[in-house]
């Protein structure tokens, strides 16, 4: 019977978490080569960009790497790249062929790095439509257009896609977190009927929209997923322990030591592109949440 009336009066404070800048010293990490390059089945100039990793609090653009020898080979032909500006290397106007495996070879500071990537086949896009969600009951005027894809997904399993969107010739999906990407687990061999593959904010009627569909590899799909896991999708204490994304570039002749391999990815992809203009709103398709 003791202590039934225990606390009569307490000061009740509203507990809120507070944030302040945290000043810490982090070790200087080992400086690694960073590669960002691709080749596609389009007849055009293809780019490989070389840079270096930096300390976490370096707070300046990544230092570029000049003076490297870079070539891309499909097993029969080899294409050399020329450095057009600091760290940016370009091919002549060439086109890759789906079904071939491309090998990127980089020689920088006397060390040879290599990467291989298979070029998948990209199915053609039949048409695109534009969709909207009706948010008027929440008093929200939504002027975004959702891009709806109509295309046949091939019956072969393990296809992976990503979609880029241009509005009036300007790339809208210019950072990796804005790009829609998907595997074909749920759509394998089916017709993709008005499938949502991206959206554009504040569109106007008669804007020109170009949708690019890229057939990518499983390794690149996993790589994007891992990049987003440590950036935009990072859930802090509610997520798993952080880790470093696995690129596909290796240093050869280092006896299998992974810790000094370059970061980044060399991607071979095939592409299909379609362009349409935004029609009047009554021709848009109303989308349902479920």
Residue ranges that bind another protein, judged by CB under 8 A:
1-3, 5-11, 13, 15, 17-24, 26-32, 34, 36, 51-62, 174-177, 179, 224-227, 229-231, 235-245, 258-259, 263-265
Least separation in angstroms between CB 55 and another protein:
6
Least separation in angstroms between CB 237 and another protein:
5
149 phi, psi to nearest 5 deg? -100, 140
Decide: 192 and 129 in contact? Cβ < 8 Å: no
By C-beta, is 201 or 281 nearer to another protein?
201
By C-beta, is 114 or 178 nearer to another protein?
178
By C-beta, is 20 or 139 nearer to another protein?
20
The CA–CA distances, whole Å, from 175 to 198, 231, 263 equal 13, 12, 18
Contacts of 184 (CB under 8 A, 6+ apart): 153, 157, 158, 159, 160, 161
By C-beta, is 3 or 77 nearer to another protein?
3
By C-beta, is 128 or 249 nearer to another protein?
249
Q: Is the dihedral of CA 79, 118, 84, 45 positive or negative?
A: positive
- 52-79: burial string, b at 16+ Cβ within 10 Å, e else: ebbeeeeeeeeeebeebebbbbbeeeeb
Report angle CA 223, 53, 242 to the nearest 5 degrees: 50
Query: Within a 10 A sphere around the Cβ of 27, how many other Cβ atoms?
Result: 7
By C-beta, is 8 or 170 nearer to another protein?
8
Least separation in angstroms between CB 89 and another protein:
16
The alpha carbon of 257 is separated from its chain's Cα centroid by a whole number of angstroms, namely 27
Least separation in angstroms between CB 278 and another protein:
25
Least separation in angstroms between CB 225 and another protein:
8
Least separation in angstroms between CB 24 and another protein:
6
């Amino acid at each position: 019977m003791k202590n039934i009336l225990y606390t009569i009066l307490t000061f009740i404070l509203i507990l809120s978490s507070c944030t302040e800048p945290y000043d810490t010293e982090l070790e200087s990490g080992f400086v690694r080569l960073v590669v960002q390059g691709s080749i596609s089945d389009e007849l055009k100039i293809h780019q490989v960009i070389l840079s270096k990793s930096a300390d976490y609090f370096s707070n300046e653009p990544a230092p570029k790497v000049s003076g490297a020898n870079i070539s891309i080979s499909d097993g029969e032909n080899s294409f050399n790249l020329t450095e057009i500006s600091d760290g940016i290397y370009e091919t002549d106007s060439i086109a890759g062929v789906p079904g071939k495996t491309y090998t990127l070879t980089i020689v920088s500071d006397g060390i040879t790095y290599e990467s291989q990537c298979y070029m998948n086949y990209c199915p053609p896009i039949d048409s695109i439509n534009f969709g909207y969600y009706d948010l008027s009951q929440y008093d929200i005027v939504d002027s975004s257009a959702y891009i709806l894809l109509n295309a046949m997904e091939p019956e072969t399993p393990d296809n992976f896609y990503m979609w880029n969107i241009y509005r009036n010739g300007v790339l809208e999906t210019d950072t990796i977190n804005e790009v829609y990407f998907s595997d074909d687990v749920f759509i394998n061999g089916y017709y993709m009927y008005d499938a949502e593959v991206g959206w554009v904010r504040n569109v106007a009627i008669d804007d020109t929209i170009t949708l690019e569909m890229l057939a990518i590899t499983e390794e690149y799909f996993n790589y994007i997923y891992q990049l987003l896991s440590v950036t935009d999708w990072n859930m802090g204490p509610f997520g798993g322990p952080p880790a470093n994304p696995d690129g596909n570039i290796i240093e050869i002749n280092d006896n299998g030591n992974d810790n000094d391999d370059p970061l980044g990815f060399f991607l071979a992809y095939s592409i299909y592109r379609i362009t349409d203009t935004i029609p009047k709103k009554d021709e848009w398709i109303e989308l349902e949440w479920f």
